[in-house]
Amino acid sequence: MIFTGFFYGILGVILAGVITLVRVMLGPSIPDRVVGVDTLNTLIVAGMILLGAAYDRVIYIDIAIVYALLSYIGTLVVAKYLQGGLE
């Protein structure tokens, strides 16, 4: 059941996530790592939706929506800290 087209899509997302993780680990500056984490968040949302389709569960999409909303806030908090913070 899981070895459908969605499963190979998830494998592609995992591959892209590993490449992004290399950037997060090796990023020479802090904004590099922030952009890497932001990309990783979007990839994880895509992976969650593909997993929800592969397992054939509609309610898994809820978690992807919550993760998409909250990862946006997290990136915004780091951006605000880098630009000077709540001075």
Partner 1 sequence: MNSQNNDMGLIVKTMARVTIPLIGIFGAYVVAHGHLTPGGGFQGGATVAGAGVLFLIAFGLSETKNRINKTLYSALEGIGGLVFLAMGMLGFGVVFFYNTLWREGPVFNGEPGSLLSAGYLPIMNLAVGLKVYTGLVSALFAIALFRRWKK
AA letter at 26: L
Q: How many residues bind partner 1 (CB under 8 A)?
A: 17
36 or 52: CB nearest partner 1: 52
How many C-beta atoms surround the C-beta of residue 80 within 10 A? 11
From the list 1-9, 19-27, 38-46, 65-73, the region that binds partner 1 by CB under 8 A is: 65-73
Are 9 and 50 spatial neighbours (Cβ–Cβ below 8 Å)?
A: yes
Q: Which stretch binds partner 1 (CB under 8 A): 1-9, 31-39, 41-49, 58-66?
A: 58-66
